[in-house]
Structure 1
Amino acid sequence: MLKTKILKSLLSASLIAAFAVPMAVQAQTSAAGMNTPAASALNKADQKIVMDMARASMAEIEAGKIAVNKAQSPEVKAYAQRMVDEHTRALTDVTNLAQSKGVTLPTELDAKHKAMAAKLNRMEGDKFDREYMKQAGVSDHTKMHAMLKKDSARATDPDVKALAAKMMPAVEEHMTAARSMPMAKKSGGMADAKGTKPPVTGEANDHTSPGATLPPAAAKDTSQGTSGTKGTTGTSTRTPTGEANDHTSAGAVRPAPAAKDAKPQPAPAVKY
């Protein structure tokens, strides 16, 4: 009787051990599977693309929030609110993709956009509006569009490639809208843009002013009779009294017959 009980106990222990080992192995395998990130299929280049897309939208959201509060122009304020709304949706798409691929996204702006946000926070009024539209509106969207165009072509993961292509049209629209706004355009006319000083009233005829341009007819003095000792060309010089007829001086140029100032001589007396 005692032997039977012992045998039953040993058999039960063996069965428990036999079932426990596979269950422990299965539990360890499941735990290992849960801790293994799905991003193992993404290469480094594609991971960087996902993180760059996230940073770009984060920068637009941050700058847009500042502009919503500080912009003076209603047009700029409306544009900024649109950037906050649309780039928040874009960031949601990037976040979902990153989670499915196991990519850890940045949680703060890069150094460049931190500096830009600090600069915008120090500005007010019309100056703020122009700077926001110039940087966040035109410059950043131009760079983002070029980045997405390149990423949609070079990404190897199909989901990363598809997201870059999906974001491109909206970013292009943001860029075009920003460029068309007056605050993003350079102030001043064409002369100011080229750095050319507009002419001052009366200056065109003042040929004695420094840097003044002579009209074509007076640009070069081709008349003869200028003293050869001066060696001056292209400058109209009044000849001193009597110098024009002094053809014995060194270097003197004999004037043409038409240039000689000769008084009419009386007719010689006729002898009969």
Structure 2
Amino acid sequence: MKIKTLTLLGLAMLGIGSALSAAAAETLSTSDADFLRKAAVAGMAEVEQSKAAVQLSSNEKIKAFAQMMITDHGKANDELSALAKKNGWTVPAELDSDAQKKVGDVRNAGAQVDTVYARNMVKDHDEAVALFSNAATNVTAPSLRSFAQEKLPTLQQHSKKAKELPGAAK
């Protein structure tokens, strides 16, 4: 009898725990959802452009930076996807048309691949720093705001390093 009561009590506690974790999922405002989408696409675009640069560039500085982008942005993309999944949010599965164009520009740059990639990295990281700076103070979903705050220093460092790449200066 005691075992049956304890089993039922345990199952009830599991049910309460599940209901509480479902209720704990954060909801997104329209601007939060916009940040989530932009951050996800920007991260995927960094990885795809960098994969092309690793393949096509012969410059070791470009290749090293590109590999760092693949590693750092790949990890951040995974973290953002896990955060979204945990909260029932949707992140884009593919690049938007602007991001696809940037990737195509790097892939089709020929002898100018280093310059095209470096300039894209400067522009993209300046935009990402602005996006994440705004999100770090204005996003209302606490875990998404924490994500932006945590990633901002890395993006600022990437921006600085991108500006030092060969071909980055206009």
Q: Shorter-chain TM-score: which interval?
A: 0.7 to 0.9
- Quick check: 1:100 aligned with 2:91? no
Please state how far the C-alpha of 1:47 moved relative to its aligned partner: 2.2
Find the residue that maps to 1:88 and give its secondary structure: helix
What are the residue-to-residue correspondences of 1:182-193 with 2, within 5 Å? 182-186=166-170
In the alignment, the residues of structure 1 paired with residue 86 and residue 34 of structure 2 have an alpha-carbon distance, to the nearest angstrom, of 15
CA deviations over 1:196-255 (Å, ceiling 9, x no partner): xxxxxxxxxxxxxxxxxxxxxxxxxxxxxxxxxxxxxxxxxxxxxxxxxxxxxxxxxxxx
How far is the alpha carbon of 1:38 from its aligned partner?
Answer: 6.6
Alignment partner, residue 176 of structure 1 = 160
Confirm or deny: 8 A CA contact 2:42 2:99 kept in the other structure: no
Higher Rg of the two aligned structures:
1
Check 1:37–1:69 CA distance in 2 against 1; reply closer, same or farther (3 A cut). Answer: farther
CA distance in 2, matches of 1:120, 1:147: 23
Indicate the residue corresponding to 1:148 in structure 2: 132
Give identity over the alignment, percent: 28
> What is the match of residue 46 of structure 1?
32
In structure 1, runs of 5+ residues without a counterpart are 1-25, 187-272
Alignment match of 2:141 (pick from 147, 157, 168): 157
Q: 2:96 pairs with 95, 98, 110, which one?
A: 110
The aligned counterpart of 2:54 is 68
Q: 1:86 corresponds to which residue?
A: 72
Q: 2:117 aligns with which of 125, 132, 150?
A: 132
Which residue does 1:216 correspond to in 2? none
Contact (CA 8 Å) 1:42, 1:101: kept in 2 or not? no
Q: Is the 8 A contact 2:37 2:91 kept in 1?
A: yes
Specify the code of the residue in structure 2 equivalent to 1:122.
N
Decide which of 65, 77, 82 is 2:63's aligned counterpart.
Answer: 77
Over 3 Å off, 4+ runs:
36-40
Contiguous gaps of at least 5 residues in structure 2: 1-11
Residue 44 of structure 2 corresponds to 58
Kindly state the Cα deviation for residue 149 of structure 1 after the two structures are TM-superposed.
0.3
CA distance in 2, matches of 1:83, 1:43: 29
Contact 1:120/1:131 (CA < 8 Å) preserved in 2? yes
Alpha carbons of structure 1 residues 162 and 44: separation in structure 2 relative to 1, 3 Å: same
TM-score normalised according to structure 1 size? 0.53
Whole-angstrom CA distance in 2 between matches of 1:67 and 1:178:
13
Are residues 72 and 37 of structure 1, via their aligned partners in 2, closer, same or farther at CA, if it must alter by over 3 Å? Answer: farther
Counterparts of 2:26 and 2:145, CA distance in 1: 17
**What amino acid sits opposite 1:128 in the alignment?**
V
Q: More displaced, 92-101 or 45-54?
A: 45-54
Residue 120 of structure 1, CA deviation? 1.7
Distance 2:26 2:132 in 1: 23
Classify the secondary structure of the residue corresponding to 2:94: coil
Query: CA RMSD, aligned part only?
Result: 2.1
CA contact (8 A) 1:38 1:102 kept: no
- Cα distance in structure 2, aligned partners of 1:66 and 1:39: 37
In structure 2, the CA distance between the partners of 1:99 and 1:153, relative to structure 1 (3 Å rule), is: same
Aligned equivalents of 1:40 and 1:165: distance in 2?
17
